[in-house]
C-alpha cells in the first residue's frame, strides 16, 4: 500500500476523510465503514420505542472491491466521509497489465492497473481496435482505480 501512495498526484496533503454528522449522510453518498470507503446503498433510521431517539442504519458497498458493509449508530454521532476525486485521462497504451494515461496537464501516469472483469476487457478491446478512449479514474483514501470508459470527444 505504501508505495502506491507515492505515485498519487495532485492533492497530497489534503486529508483523505472528513467528519459528518450521521443524520446528514445521504443515500448514494459516501461514508467510511469498517475502514473502507463505501458508497451508501441503503440508509434507514429507526428508534427504540416511540419516544426514543433516531439511529441510523447504513449499508455501504466498498467503492473499489464491491464488498458490502453495514453499521448502525445514533444519528447524532459523526461518521468519516472519504474525499472522493474523479478524473478523466486519455488512454495512451496498455503495458504489462498497466494503463498509460495522459493527464490534463500533459503528464503521463503509468501506475494504474488495467481493471479486471468486464471493464478491463472493454478497455482492452477498444484499445486493440485503435479507438481513442478516455478512462475515468476514482481516487479515495489513497487508493485509485479505473472505473469507467468513454469515447474521446
Binding site for another protein (CB under 8 A): 10-11, 14, 18, 21-24, 26, 28-29, 44-54, 74-76, 81, 83-88, 118-119, 136, 148, 150-151, 153
Tell me the closest approach of the beta carbon of residue 139 to another protein, in angstroms: 9
With beta carbons less than 8 A apart as the criterion, state whether 101 and 93 touch. Answer: no
Nearer to another protein, 95 or 121 (CB): 121
Identify the residue whose cell numbers are 489534503.
Answer: 14
Of 33 and 40, nearer to another protein (C-beta) is: 40
How far apart are CB 141 and another protein at their closest, in Å?
13
Q: How far is the CB of 78 from another protein (least distance, A)?
A: 10
- Cβ proximity to another protein: between 8 and 87 the closer is 87
What is the rounded distance in angstroms from the CA atom of residue 127 to the CA atom of residue 120? 10
Cell numbers placing 67: 464488498
Find the shortest distance in angstroms from Cβ 51 to another protein: 4
- Of the two residues 72 and 95, which places its CB atom closer to another protein in the complex? 72
SS3 for 23? helix
Q: What is the DSSP letter of 134?
A: E
Do residues 54 and 117 touch, judged by C-beta distance below 8 A? no
Eight-class DSSP state of 8: -
Cell output for 145: 482505480
Closest distance to another protein from the beta carbon of 107 (Å): 14
**Comparison of 95 and 124: residue with beta carbon closer to another protein:** 124
CA dihedral 36→40→46→47, nearest 10 degrees, is 40
Amino acid at each position: 500500500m505504501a508505495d502506491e501512495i507515492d505515485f498519487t498526484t495532485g492533492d497530497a496533503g489534503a486529508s483523505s476523510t472528513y467528519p459528518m454528522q450521521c443524520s446528514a449522510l445521504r443515500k448514494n453518498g459516501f461514508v467510511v465503514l469498517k475502514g473502507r470507503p463505501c458508497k451508501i446503498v441503503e440508509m434507514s433510521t429507526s428508534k427504540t420505542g416511540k419516544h426514543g431517539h433516531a439511529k441510523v442504519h447504513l449499508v455501504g458497498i466498498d467503492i473499489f472491491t464491491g464488498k458490502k458493509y453495514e453499521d448502525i449508530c445514533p444519528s447524532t454521532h459523526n461518521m468519516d466521509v472519504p474525499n472522493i476525486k474523479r478524473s478523466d485521462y486519455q488512454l495512451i497504451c496498455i503495458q504489462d497489465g498497466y494503463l498509460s494515461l495522459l493527464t490534463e496537464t500533459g503528464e503521463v501516469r503509468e501506475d494504474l492497473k488495467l481493471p479486471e472483469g468486464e471493464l478491463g476487457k472493454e478497455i482492452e478491446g477498444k484499445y486493440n481496435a485503435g479507438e481513442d478512449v478516455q478512462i475515468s479514474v476514482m481516487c479515495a483514501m489513497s487508493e485509485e482505480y479505473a472505473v469507467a470508459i468513454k469515447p474521446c470527444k
